[in-house]
Amino acid sequence: MMGPSHAACGAAAWVALTGTYTLHLADVSLPVGLGLMPVGHPGVITGALICAGAALLPDLDHPGGTVARSLPPLSTWLARGVSSLGGGHRRATHSLLGLLLVVVLALLSQRASVPVGDALRWDGASGAAGGHVAGAAASLPGQVWPLAAVLSVLLIACAVKVLAFVPDRLAHANWVVGILLGTFVATHPPDDPRWFAVAVGLGCAVHMLGDLLTTQGIHLLWPLRPPLPLPTAFYRRRSFVRFPVLGNAGSGREVLLLVPITLYALTGLLCAGIAWAGLTVSM
């Protein structure tokens, strides 16, 4: 899949997971989101930003790709290192092991919270009742997560770069945009304390699924190359798994899939923005 497709799919996946809206069109009611992890109206928007950026993160294994140029020179150095360690494009960062490592990193970054002002409180006794681990830091206003904030800047800058909001000649402006939007995310975090790890993991998983549907496929079981009982059309060189229903990246079939996914994501974000503003719209 191409970068804009990955970003749109990441935002749409977050809307589907967290949205709790119903779109009324004449006599037809259309649900927008499954509401499986309610995060509040601003959380739908801020989480979609992170999930869209995370849906581009696996392509950090491509030193010449758009993601590698999102936050120069840091992203360029990261891409070179990741590509060298992971064996190249669509390998380590597109694997189940890579997905696990990214989720663990996201979890660790979210645990590193810093209390601000009166927010030095913990939910030790009430952890079980609230569904949280006893002794874990409560998700309270006044707490900040510095590592998650730094990762958020990187993820948002990836989305900004891929969606071409900033022209290439102003590439360093991605730092400004990423920091501003990262600050917005930090000041309006989703209500669920698991949100960052879920958004990052979901975005990466959506990316892997998208590339799995192309002709090149992904090294899903990296670094292993086991013989699988699949025809060569679905498993080549004992490494790359593929179900190429979309054909090559950027194909017409991908574009046809992208249009409704993008519309769905935009509809969910619009509903979240309207609800956050306290407005109602009837159609």
Contact of 217 with 211, CB cutoff 8 Å? yes
Query: Residue 90: what pLDDT?
Result: 93
Query: Residue 124: what pLDDT?
Result: 39
First to last CA, the chain: 34
Count of positions (residues) in the chain:
283
Query: Residue 129: what pLDDT?
Result: 40
Query: Residue 80: what pLDDT?
Result: 92
Enter the DSSP assignment of 238. T
Q: How many CB atoms lie within 10 A of CB 150?
A: 13
Query: Residue 64: what pLDDT?
Result: 81
DSSP string across 30-86: EEE---SS---HHHHHHHHHHHHHHTTGGGGG-TTSTGGGSSTTHHHHHHHHHHHHH
Counting other chains too, the contacts that 179-184 makes at CB distance below 8 Å and 24 or more residues apart are: 179/153, 181/49, 181/152, 181/156, 182/149, 182/152, 182/153, 182/156, 184/46
Query: Residue 145: what pLDDT?
Result: 67
Per-position pLDDT tens, the chain of length 283: 888 899 999 999 999 999 999 888 778 888 999 999 999 999 999 899 899 999 999 999 988 887 887 777 888 898 999 999 888 899 999 999 999 999 999 988 877 666 655 444 444 334 444 444 333 344 444 566 667 777 888 888 778 777 765 555 655 676 777 788 878 887 777 888 889 999 999 999 999 999 999 999 999 999 999 998 889 899 988 899 999 999 998 899 999 999 999 999 999 999 999 999 987 755 4
